[in-house]
Amino acid sequence: MTAMNGEVQESVMAAEAKQTCYEGSSVQSFQFYLEHSGEHEAILQCVHNILPGEFKRIGAGKSSLDVLGVGSGGGEIDAQMLTLLQSTFPAVPITADIVEGSSQLTDNFKGLVAKTTNLQKIPFAWYIMHSEDYERQVKEKGDMKTFDFIHMIQMIYYVDNLADTIKFYHSLLKNNGRLMIIIEAANGGWDTLWKTYKKDLCVDAIQEYRSSGEVIACLKSQGLKYEEHVIPNSFDITECFNPSSQTGKRLLNYMTANDNFYQSFSPEIKGGMLELLRNKCSTEKDGRVLFNSNMSCILVYA
Ligand X SMILES: C[S@@+](CC[C@H](N)C(=O)[O-])C[C@H]1O[C@@H](n2cnc3c(N)ncnc32)[C@H](O)[C@@H]1O
The single residue among 59, 101, 189, 248 that binds ligand X, judged by CB under 6 A, is 101
> In whole angstroms, what is the distance from residue 135 CA to residue 225 CA?
22
Q: Is position 77 an interface residue for ligand X (rule: CB under 6 A)?
A: yes
Sign of the Cα pseudo-torsion (262, 252, 180, 96, in order):
positive
- By three-state DSSP, how is residue 245 classified? coil
17 or 60: CB nearest ligand X:
17
Q: Which is nearer to ligand X, 72 or 212 (CB)?
A: 72
Choose, by CB under 6 A, the member of 37, 86, 95, 154 that binds ligand X.
154
The yes or no reply on residue 293 touching ligand X (CB under 6 A) is no
Q: Are strands 282-285 and 124-128 parallel, antiparallel or unpaired?
A: unpaired
Helices (H), the chain: 25-37, 39-59, 76-88, 103-114, 131-141, 162-171, 189-196, 198-201, 212-221, 246-255, 261-264, 267-279
Strands of 288-292's sheet, edge to edge? 234-236, 288-292, 282-285
Identity of the amino acid at 160: D
User: Is 46 near ligand X (CB under 6 A)?
Assistant: no
**Residue of the chain from 54, 67, 73, 299 that contacts ligand X (CB under 6 A):** 73
Q: Which stretch binds ligand X (CB under 6 A): 53-61, 147-155, 193-201, 274-282?
A: 147-155
Taking CB under 6 A as the binding criterion, the range among 71-79, 140-148, 219-227, 260-268 that sits at the site for ligand X is 71-79
Stretch that binds ligand X, among 66-74, 135-143, 238-246, 283-291 (CB under 6 A): 66-74
For ligand X, the binding residues (CB under 6 A) are 20-22, 30, 71-73, 76-77, 99-102, 105, 130-131, 153-155, 158-159
